Amino acid sequence: MNDLDDLYREIILDHYKNPRNQGVLEGPTVHAEEGFNPLCGDEVKVYVQVEDGVVHDIKITGQGCSISRSSASLMSQAVKGQSLDEVKATVSRFKRMIAVEETEDEPEPVDLRVIGELAALQGVVKFPVRIKCATLAWNTLMLALDEESHSV
Amino acid sequence: MNDLDDLYREIILDHYKNPRNQGVLEGPTVHAEEGFNPLCGDEVKVYVQVEDGVVHDIKITGQGCSISRSSASLMSQAVKGQSLDEVKATVSRFKRMIAVEETEDEPEPVDLRVIGELAALQGVVKFPVRIKCATLAWNTLMLALDEESHSV
Amino acid sequence: MAGVEITEQLSELRKDFPIFADIEATRPFYYLDSAASSQRPAVVIDTMNRYYRHSHANVHRGVYGLAEEATGIYEAARRHLGRFIGASDPVHEIVFTKNATEALNLVVQGLGRVLLTADSHVLLTEMEHHANLVPWMILQEQLGFTIEYLPFDAEGLLVLDDLDARLERASILGVTLMSNVLGTLNPVAMLSERAHAHGVVVVGDGAQFVPHFATDVRELGVDCLAITGHKMLAPTGIGALWAKAEILEQMLPFLGGGEMISDVRLDGFTAGEIPHKFEAGTPPIAEAAGWDAALDYLEMVGMDAISRHDRQLTTYAMRQMRERLDDRIKIFGPQDVTKRGGVLSFELADVHPHDVAQVLDQHGVCVRAGHHCAKPLMRELGVGATARASFYLYNDEHDVDALVDALLDAYQLFHG
Amino acid sequence: MAGVEITEQLSELRKDFPIFADIEATRPFYYLDSAASSQRPAVVIDTMNRYYRHSHANVHRGVYGLAEEATGIYEAARRHLGRFIGASDPVHEIVFTKNATEALNLVVQGLGRVLLTADSHVLLTEMEHHANLVPWMILQEQLGFTIEYLPFDAEGLLVLDDLDARLERASILGVTLMSNVLGTLNPVAMLSERAHAHGVVVVGDGAQFVPHFATDVRELGVDCLAITGHKMLAPTGIGALWAKAEILEQMLPFLGGGEMISDVRLDGFTAGEIPHKFEAGTPPIAEAAGWDAALDYLEMVGMDAISRHDRQLTTYAMRQMRERLDDRIKIFGPQDVTKRGGVLSFELADVHPHDVAQVLDQHGVCVRAGHHCAKPLMRELGVGATARASFYLYNDEHDVDALVDALLDAYQLFHG
Ligand SMILES: Cc1ncc(COP(=O)(O)O)c(C=O)c1O
Ligand SMILES: Cc1ncc(COP(=O)(O)O)c(C=O)c1O
């Protein structure tokens, strides 16, 4: 395992053991959604509070493997404070980084400087089975935001 | 192909081109039965006239390949004049000679001197698919005799 | 003659198929039964060996590297097959089955139960293989709809006079792209267009066509297509159903078990996503790897070259049979070679097809004799059985010459 | 220690399995996932190669010698498998399928449609694999009967308190001979006897049991048994249903197509004879040849030697895990090794099974992580997923040692 892998492993383990933005949100501007990984029964619940088109706050609860929990934690960091358009761009960048099963083509190269710490999850591409772990929180976030856009 | 094969081939061709006991039988003591080869749609009809427990007469109609027609012709020669018990023994000897698909075991050795010209059909063992052709008339005969025994 | 040149060029490939050298070392061998099953190039056999020797593990769910590798190999085969037939969504539209027959049963049960009721009509043809007849009959016993059949004429071509009236009544049209007995190439693109105009879903049987012709499901216009590996240089034990994603989405699951579910509770289950929803249990993994290699090989040769080669051999064979056997032989199906594939069913005067095949075998010529799993068609032809010779890329004029020599001998034997 | 001796003796056989040497040449490789799929000895791979290189043709109906040869190979495999499990009529009682899952779907649909109505009860267990759950649920949607489940206790043993009352209501009992998660060996001979006293037909799932224990269907008393090749050294793409001839006779045909009919007319079909009535389309011929060779190999080693070897390794593994990981590990299923096969599901404290499997993979240790296609069982255990190690004849103590080393490392990594 080379140094970069080690670094990534450290980031993942750090976020797994100390997940950021844990907890629940309440209030009229909060949207919550539950996600569920059919592979292993893992669950995640994402709460987002959107104000003026910006993700004002985000919290996460649930249980899962290191990939799914660290991915949720890294996601919460990445999108907090972003506008809805920025969130969409982040989600799409993240998915392109790891999407390999869903499309016929090789994953598009992604600028790792733009994606920041999220790059730690790039290694998942090599393990298609675990892509579902990595995307669980992200898909759940998108559902929560969909709901939010419908409710406006 | 060795000489014996040639001899057998001659017997088969002879009976195919000049089938013995062709035709129909009529009368109150005649039993008739139709047989049908699902493999190729070939049909045979066997008429037997049993008197005092002896196959007094036998006639055959139908169309088929060289194996099924010669087998029917050879059969008609073999059983004509036999008692019902002798017919049963002949049928069973014949079936043992060619039966390979139906039982798990190797076919029992059969005394070729006892079986006579029927031995010409022995080569069929090597072609399990064609066993159905070879046994068509025989199974049909047994059905006709069954019917006869029930009607007594 | 340009024809012979190309044929010779292709039959160079014969050396890629180890069975020919292996058998020819001890006896003559003219394999003319590829419509029943083709032979395999070494590269297909080697690919499977490599799979078993280096990469085998069960697919999906396995987290360890070997399981990922096996899954990757299996899914790559799916995508390759999808591209090979022009699927617009290769990842989701190919369901692996054990053969074309299972593929047809799958679509009949999965789609039939959604689209059909006791009042429905299903339109088939009288030249279908049992695989595209019996599954409909089994479902019919359960649901009670009506089955109609398009007849064919003396040339073996579909009679389409009342096509629109029949389509008007029908919910599904099931049709073979190419007859395995007559060789007839059916006008499937036109049939699909007309069917769609009446809202009829088209189920194509591609078992004979796909191995021999460049296939583009979008051009053909069919909604579903059954395919089988073993007739196109791939291993036994694998076939596939291609269907448009929206068709697969509405189909009911067929086989239940592992891999095809998203959740199972004691009181019921939720089916998984397409195509996995239809792949219950451990799939034919090594076989998929072999099929992938077979597709590579076919692409390397070129499907158009294969179709041309088939046609040239068919032309040559029909001419030789007529010239050397004249009225002692009757060839069924279209006399116009542009309307048929490389499958020749025939009758040798007064010699039973079983006997034909047996005498030919003495000469090392392998042809099939029987009803070719198409009994309604045979009944229509008025015969119980036919003998059938069929060609593929490894055949050449020598095979045809041996066939005609052996046919002359068979005739002699039974008429001499 | 006698145990270790026998184990070492058997693991000599490891060299017969080329994948070990091939992978070990480049990386460590401890394959502990044979419950998902086993590896193959060279003789199985070579047998398939020989088949494709010398004997391939489609089976049945072919009159020529090569087709007879292929048919002979295929039918010989059928008889061998029948003898291997003690069938009284091997020629007629083995139906080849693509896997155990298809075998179960076949018996559920074929027999279920004959025996069940809306009022019927089917008795299953809570430890069944999805393959013995979902097919029943699919049929239930069509016919509307009731499904009951036998629960299991904290040791993973079936709770049979009200067995007779449940059997009294039931028409069919479906039960796995061995759990693929808990390793539990169910008392099938006793269950069959009790079931038969109530006129209940017993469908056994032998996918896990048959590869590891000498099997005699007459002793087990089951009426039907599903088996799969790939878990017992045979190729992918083949499985089988064994059923008593009188059961097969009454079963409705399932897949329709070629080979399974006696006649087809435009207005219906007549099914053929058993077992062909259930084998529609071109069967897995090369795979049957490979399975035949796998059976030879298993017989050469001896099924009792394999069971003993599994048990010794299981004992060793349970002891090592407890000694070196103590309360950091929880092993599911019977703690008494005589009540279980060589399958160990476990939980490593606070480390998700996916993470366990991934870290183990870094050490070259291959274990499965997930719900093992037994979601109701997992729910009963109160977990979403487990990690599972499973043994076969080519494993030895080194595999177990590597497993426990890697588990310690995983624990360290996530708790360090
Ligand atoms: C107990 C049990 N039943 C059935 C199956 C299904 O076997 P297959 O995948 O070969 O259909 C398995 C294997 O996954 C199993 O462990
Ligand atoms: C036209 C046609 N359809 C379907 C099939 C069935 O294919 P398989 O035996 O692979 O299921 C065949 C081959 O026998 C065929 O020729």
Same domain, D277 and D334: no
Give the pLDDT confidence score for residue A72 in this predicted structure.
95
Catalytic residue among C73, C104, C182, C373: C373
Of C62, C79, C262, the CB nearest to A129: C62
Q: How much distance in Å is there from the Cα of D281 to the middle of ligand 2?
A: 7
Q: For residue C38, is it within any domain?
A: no
Residue D250 has pLDDT above 50, yes or no: yes
Is C93 inside any structural domain?
yes
Q: Evaluate: CB of C28 within 6 angstroms of ligand 1.
A: no
Q: Considering chain A, what is the average pLDDT of its residues?
A: 84
CB contact under 8 A, D285 and C49: no
C7 and C151 in a common domain: no
Predicted confidence (pLDDT) per residue in D2-39, tens digit: 344 555 567 689 999 999 999 999 999 999 999 999 99
The CA distance from D1 to the nearest CA of chain C, in Å, is 33
Distance, CA of D156 to CA of D332 (rounded, Å): 7
Distance (Å) of CA D132 to CA C97, D163, D387: 20, 19, 22
**CATH of residue C370:** 3.90.1150.10
Residue D332 and residue D199 in one domain: no
Burial of C99 (0-12, 13-18, 19+ CB in 10 A): buried
Average pLDDT for A133-150: 86
- C312 and C180, same structural domain? no
- The CB of D105 under 6 Å from ligand 1? The reply is no
**Do D387 and D406 lie in a common domain?**
yes
C256 → closest Cβ in D134, D354, D366 = D134
The minimum CA-CA distance between D262 and chain A, rounded to whole Å, is 44
Same domain, C306 and C289: no
Task: Print burial letters for D129-165: b (CB count within 10 Å at least 16), e (below 16).
Answer: bbbbbbbbbbbbeeeebebebbebeeebbbebeebee
Is C341 near ligand 2, meaning CB less than 6 Å away?
A: no
Indicate whether D382 belongs to any domain. yes
**Which range has the worst mean pLDDT, B99-108, C306-315, D275-284?**
B99-108
Of all atoms in ligand 2, which is nearest to the CA of residue C35? 16
Task: Please state the rounded mean pLDDT for residues D312-321.
Answer: 97
> Among C136, C208, C224, which is best to mutate for testing ligand 2, by the most ligand atoms less than 8 A from CB?
C208
How large is the C-alpha radius of gyration of chain A?
15
* Chain A: closest CA distance from residue C63 (Å): 6
Judged by CB atoms closer than 8 Å, whether chains meet at C91 and A102 is answered as yes
The domain of D335 spans: 2-31+302-415
**Is D touching B (3+ C-beta pairs, cut-off 8 A)?**
yes
Nearest CA in chain B to D264: B38
Helix (H, G, I), strand (E, B) or coil at D285: helix
Which of D104, D134, D180 is the best mutation target for the ligand 1 pocket, counting ligand atoms within 8 Å of the beta carbon and taking the most?
D180
Q: Which amino acid is at D272?
A: G
Judge whether D344 lies within some domain: yes
Cβ contact D353–A65 (<8 Å) = yes
Looking at chain C, which subunits does it touch, using at least 3 CB pairs closer than 8 Å as the criterion?
A, B, D
Q: Decide: A53 and A84 in contact? Cβ < 8 Å.
A: yes
Q: Which of residues 72-111 of D touch C (CB under 8 A)?
A: 97-102, 104-105
Fold held by B3-151: Sufe protein. Chain: A (3.90.1010)
A and D in touch (3+ CB pairs within 8 angstroms): yes
Active site residues of D: 373
Confidence of residue B108 (pLDDT cuts 50, 70, 90): low
Do residues D213 and D330 both lie within one domain?
no
User: pLDDT digits over A12-34, tens only?
Assistant: 999 999 999 999 999 888 999 99
For residues D14 and D90, membership in a common domain is answered with no
Q: How many residues does chain C have?
A: 416
Q: Which residues of D touch C379 (CB under 8 A)?
A: 265
State the pLDDT at residue C323.
97
Quote the tokens at residue B51: 């008197």
Domain boundary among C233, C267, C299: C299
- Mean pLDDT, to the nearest integer, of D335-360? 95
Domain contains C36: no
User: Is D36 within the bounds of a domain?
Assistant: no
Q: Which residues of B touch D60 (CB under 8 A)?
A: 129
Measured CB to CB, residues of chain D less than 8 Å from chain B are: 60-63, 67-68, 71-72, 75, 79, 83, 90-91, 261-263, 272
Strand pairing class (C146-150; C121-125): parallel
Q: Which two tokens stand for residue C293?
A: 């290699």
CB pairs under 8 A between A and C: 28
- Domain count for chain C, please give it: 2
Q: Are residues C144 and C281 in the same domain?
A: yes
| Closest listed residue to residue C352, CA positions, set C374, C331, C364, C370 | C370
β-pairing, C201-205 vs C170-176, is parallel
Q: Give the integer Cα–Cα distance in Å for B32 and B41.
A: 19
Query: Running along chain C, 416 residues long, what does each successive block of 10 average in pLDDT?
Result: 52 92 96 98 98 93 88 96 98 98 98 98 98 98 97 98 98 98 98 98 98 98 98 98 98 94 92 96 98 98 96 97 96 97 96 93 95 95 94 96 97 88
Q: Contacts by D21-24 with C-beta closer than 8 Å and gap 24+?
A: D22/C53, D22/C54, D23/C54, D23/C66
Whole-angstrom Cα distance, residue A122 to residue A110? 10
Contacts of C354 in chain B (CB under 8 A): 40, 65-67, 130, 133
Contacts of D107 (CB under 8 A, 6+ apart): D203, D224, D226, D241, D243, D251
Torsion of CA C48, C53, C55, C59, to 10 degrees: 70
Cα gap D177→C159, rounded to integer Å: 56
Q: How far apart are CA C270 and CA C272, in angstroms?
A: 7
Q: Is residue C344 part of a domain?
A: yes
For residue C106, give every residue at least 6 positions away whose Cβ sits within 8 Å of its Cβ, in sequence order, or none.
Answer: C95, C97, C241, C251, C254, C255, C278
Q: Which of C358, C384, C413 comes nearest B40 by C-beta?
A: C384
- pLDDT at residue C2, rounded to an integer: 39
Q: How many contacts does B have with C, using Cβ atoms within 8 A? A: 39
Span of C400-409, D26-35, D53-62, D137-146 with lowest mean pLDDT: D53-62
D196: in domain: yes
SS3 for C364? coil
Residues D276 and D348 in one domain: no
Do D124 and D160 sit in the same domain of this protein? yes
What is d(CA D195, CA D167) in angstroms, rounded to the nearest whole number? Answer: 6
Higher pLDDT, C79 or A101: C79
Q: Which chain B residues are closer than 8 Å to C383 by Cβ? A: 41
Residue C23 is predicted with a pLDDT of: 96
Residues D233 and D130 in one domain: yes
Cα dist. D365→A126, C120, D29, D360 in Å?
17, 56, 6, 5
**Cis-peptide, bond into residue D275, ω within 30° of zero:** yes
Helix/strand/coil (H/E/C) assignment for every residue in C145-201: CEEEEECECCCCCECCCCHHHHHHHEEEEEEECECCCCCEECCHHHHHHHHHHCCCE
